[in-house]
Amino acid sequence: MFGQPRIQYKTNAQMRTMQKAGLVLIKALDAAVDAAVVGATTADIDAVFAAVLKEAGATSNFLGYHGFPATICVSVNEEVVHGIPGEKVLRDGDILSIDGGAVVDGWHSDSARTVIVGTPDPEDQRLSDVTEEAMWRGIAAAAKGRFVGDIGAAIDDYVSGVPGKPLGILEDYVGHGIGSEMHQAPDVLNYRTSHNGPKLRPGLCLAIEPMLVRGKIETLTLDDDWTVITTDGSRASQWEHSVAIHENGIWVLTAPDGGASRLAPLGVTPVPIPAD
């Protein structure tokens, strides 16, 4: 149809290359998380991440993307997404989302984790835990569902059903297809709508990334044209994995076990990407 972005369906060989990019990204994010300590700057975290990519012979898909000046986004406290690493010093109790990607042989990976520095506020820990589990519920829906819209419905249903103070699901920022480019069709919403979206079919690779906040979902972009913050100052969390759908099942490209440990309680067994 006119005006509809074309979806790129990958071969098994291409998805296995994306898995290589995902394995590099796991190591880089592990190092970045370890570097997120009291007294470190967000630039320190970026440097650690960049060093792992360089050693692996991979490149960053964030650096230079529409002019973005760093290899990762580091978003602290009320910053939701797209925080630019710099001289900000981390303090005890800060919550931050580290979002990064790696490219191997032209194929992309994308993943994000939330980290709490030092002693966590229980409500911040709850925010991160719910966001992470919401991501896994979305991934399970990618395995069990028929349409991309089933992912957002699963995320929405889980978050709205969690006991305690309600958490907000951001609607302005969503997941996406991924492959030979970092951002591709289709959009992957994190909330329920009446639109089913395209079918979930082999060769489709998706970055599933819910972003939740402790307060209202309204945001604004700072003068740096990148950093997005909550307008009410409430804290935010982002978790993300890249997922491949193939003829035998799904495989989480940015999880060391393909997602097995977190998907098992949800009734899903990931299957390694087969050879062509």
Q: Which residues sit in the known binding site for substrate?
A: 82, 183
- Is the distance from CB of 238 to CB of 112 less than 8 angstroms? yes
- Is the distance from CB of 241 to CB of 254 less than 8 angstroms? yes
The CA distance from 111 to 69, in Å, is 18
- Is the distance from CB of 182 to CB of 254 less than 8 angstroms? no
138 Cβ neighbours under 8 A, 6+ residues apart: 151, 152, 154, 155, 175, 188, 190, 208, 210
Backbone phi and psi for residue 168, each to the nearest 5 degrees, phi listed first? -95, 140
User: Strands, DSSP E only, in the chain?
Assistant: 72-76, 79-81, 95-104, 107-116, 168-169, 175-177, 184-188, 205-208, 211-213, 219-221, 228-230, 236-238, 241-246, 249-252
The CA distance from 249 to 247, in Å, is 6
Give residue for tokens 């911040």.
124
Q: Please report, in range form, the residues annotated as the binding site for a divalent metal cation.
A: 99, 110, 176, 209, 240
Q: Please report, in range form, the residues annotated as the binding site.
A: 82, 99, 110, 176, 183, 209, 240
Q: In the structure encoding, which two tokens stand for residue 236, read together?
A: 């935010």
